[in-house]
């Protein structure tokens, strides 16, 4: 289509509304291609040129605001990530409870200990269908353990004996730590009584009395963020956190009373971050749909007011017919330098009418 029939920007915006249907119908096993017969048969709305211009100008303004909103929203995950990291760093360095110690006349009395000295560690059950016996039991895999939470939507089954269930049970307060995948990723089980077990790719860390399992989890996450935890990993391409390495994990232990205060404060701050993240996801979902909603409104004729003084659309349709006629008859060569397309079409129309009149005249025969 030529620009005097439809504005390029108007057409581009319209095709964006057809993006999904165009790509859904693409073809080609290697590089996908749009089917020409489908593309060229897309029906395009054709308001008057002046209205097209108003629509494009309005879309430019509105969609620019949408993009600006997206850019601002895209910064939020990074801000939240840094916020969470700063909270945990302040927690494990003692900065978070500095005011608490001063208020309660407490000294900074933290002691370095190895994880093996403050907890009991155990790897889970080996996955071996040929050797496994007993009844089917749901078990935790790496994929089920997230940072500070569990995803129990996709639990697999494994055969376990009564003795294995007793040895590999999961109780409230147990810290489950990934051995592979993302080594060190962990969460504290608070799901109450269950009939779950865990596979060999997971460590169960059962903290001793006077040790908060969440305190251990905060330290692991902080060291994972600053990459200090990597010195405990084995393997070159695929990293693992073996039981031997995890036992030697060094951690500073504050008094239990301060551990509890730290956990309370961290949970409060992280809960606030979770609330903001939930609002962010909801806002992002809305903004992601906003562009298509605005475009749809534009091409329903609801975005800008219509002007009765605009040339009606049927005149444009007539011009399209003449344009096809020009192309078909190869009359485009007759266009004079600088001659507007409308003038050319009108002149061609007159010429064709003249030709038709001549055809209808009776032929004079010479005697």
Domains in the chain (CATH in brackets) are 1-107+257-306 (no CATH), 111-253 (3.90.220.20), 312-362 (no CATH)
pLDDT at 113: 97
For residue 197, report the phi and psi dihedrals to the nearest 5 degrees: -135, -170
Two tokens, residue 76 = 């939020």
Closest CA relative to residue 225, chosen from 147, 144, 116, 173: 147
Q: What is the mean pLDDT of residues 315-336?
A: 60
Above 80 in pLDDT, residue 288? yes
Q: Supply the pLDDT for residue 261.
A: 98
Give per-residue pLDDT as tens, 227-263. Answer: 999 999 999 889 999 999 999 999 999 999 999 999 9
Instruction: Say what the pLDDT of residue 83 is.
Output: 98
Comparing 364 with 66, the larger pLDDT belongs to 66
Q: Which of 57, 58, 63 is nearest to 303 (CA)?
A: 58
- Please determine, for residue 330, whether its predicted confidence score (pLDDT) is greater than 60: no
Indicate the length of the chain as a whole number.
367
The percentage of the chain sitting over the pLDDT mark of 70, rounded to a whole number, equals 82
177-229: pLDDT as tens digits: 999 999 999 999 998 878 899 999 999 999 999 999 999 999 999 999 999 99
The chain-wide mean pLDDT, for the chain, equals 86
The confidence band for 306, taking pLDDT boundaries of 50, 70 and 90, is confident
Flag whether pLDDT at 26 surpasses 70: no
What tokens does 7 get?
Answer: 């504005």
Q: Which of 40-44, 101-105, 256-260, 266-270 has the lowest mean pLDDT?
A: 40-44
For residue 323, give every residue at least 6 positions away whose Cβ sits within 8 Å of its Cβ, in sequence order, or none: 2, 5, 341, 345
pLDDT-derived band at 4 (thresholds 50, 70, 90) equals low
Kindly report the three-state secondary structure assignment for every residue of 297-366.
HHCCCCCCCCCCCCCCHHHHHHHHHHHHHHHHHCHHHHCCCCCCHHHHHHHHHHHHHHHHHHHHCCCCCC
Longest Cα–Cα distance of the chain, Å, equals 134
pLDDT of residue 44: 79
pLDDT, residue 364, reads 54
Quote the pLDDT of residue 17.
Answer: 83
Instruction: List, for residues 49-96, the tens digit of each pLDDT value.
Output: 888 899 999 999 999 999 999 999 999 999 999 999 999 999 999 999
Structure-model confidence comparison of residues 24 and 111, the more confident one = 111
Q: How many CB atoms are located within 10 Å of the residue 245 CB?
A: 17
With tokens 């395009």, the residue in question is: 44
Alpha-carbon span 206 to 310, nearest angstrom: 78
Average pLDDT over residues 138-142: 94
Residue 341 has pLDDT above 60, yes or no: no
What is the average pLDDT across 271-283?
A: 97
Apex 228 CA angle, 227 and 230, nearest 5: 70
């Amino acid at each position: 289509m030529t620009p005097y029939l439809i504005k390029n920007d108007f057409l581009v915006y319209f095709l964006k509304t057809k993006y999904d249907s165009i790509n859904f119908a693409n073809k080609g096993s290697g590089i996908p291609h749009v089917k020409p017969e489908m593309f060229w048969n897309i029906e395009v709305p054709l308001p008057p040129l002046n209205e097209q211009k108003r629509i494009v100008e309005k879309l430019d303004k509105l969609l620019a605001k949408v993009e600006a909103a997206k850019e601002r929203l895209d910064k939020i995950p990074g801000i939240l990530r840094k916020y969470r990291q700063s909270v945990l760093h302040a927690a494990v360095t003692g900065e978070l409870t500095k005011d608490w110690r001063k208020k309660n006349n407490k000294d900074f009395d933290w002691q370095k200990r190895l994880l093996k000295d403050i907890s009991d560690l155990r790897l889970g059950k080996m996955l071996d269908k040929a050797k496994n016996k007993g009844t089917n039991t749901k078990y935790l895999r790496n994929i089920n353990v997230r940072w500070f939470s569990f995803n129990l939507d996709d639990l697999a089954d494994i055969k376990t004996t009564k003795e294995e269930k007793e040895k590999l049970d999961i109780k409230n307060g147990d810290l489950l730590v990934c051995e592979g995948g993302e080594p060190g990723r962990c969460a504290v089980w608070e799901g109450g009584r269950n009939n779950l077990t865990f596979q060999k790719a997971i460590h169960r860390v059962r903290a001793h009395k006077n040790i908060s399992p969440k305190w251990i989890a905060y330290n692991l996450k902080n060291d994972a963020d600053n990459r200090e935890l990597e010195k405990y990993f084995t393997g070159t391409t695929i990293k693992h956190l073996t039981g031997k390495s995890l036992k030697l994990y060094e951690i500073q232990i504050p008094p239990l009373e301060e551990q509890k205060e730290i956990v309370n404060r961290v949970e409060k701050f992280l809960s606030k971050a979770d609330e903001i993240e939930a609002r962010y996801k909801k806002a992002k979902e809305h903004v992601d749909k906003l562009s298509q909603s605005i475009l749809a409104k534009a091409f329903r004729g609801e975005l800008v007011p219509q002007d009765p003084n605009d040339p009606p659309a049927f005149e444009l349709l007539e011009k399209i017919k003449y344009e096809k006629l020009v192309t078909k008859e190869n009359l485009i060569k007759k266009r004079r330098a600088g001659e507007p397309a409308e003038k050319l079409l009108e002149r061609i129309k007159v010429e064709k009418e003249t030709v038709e009149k001549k055809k209808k005249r009776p032929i004079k025969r010479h005697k």
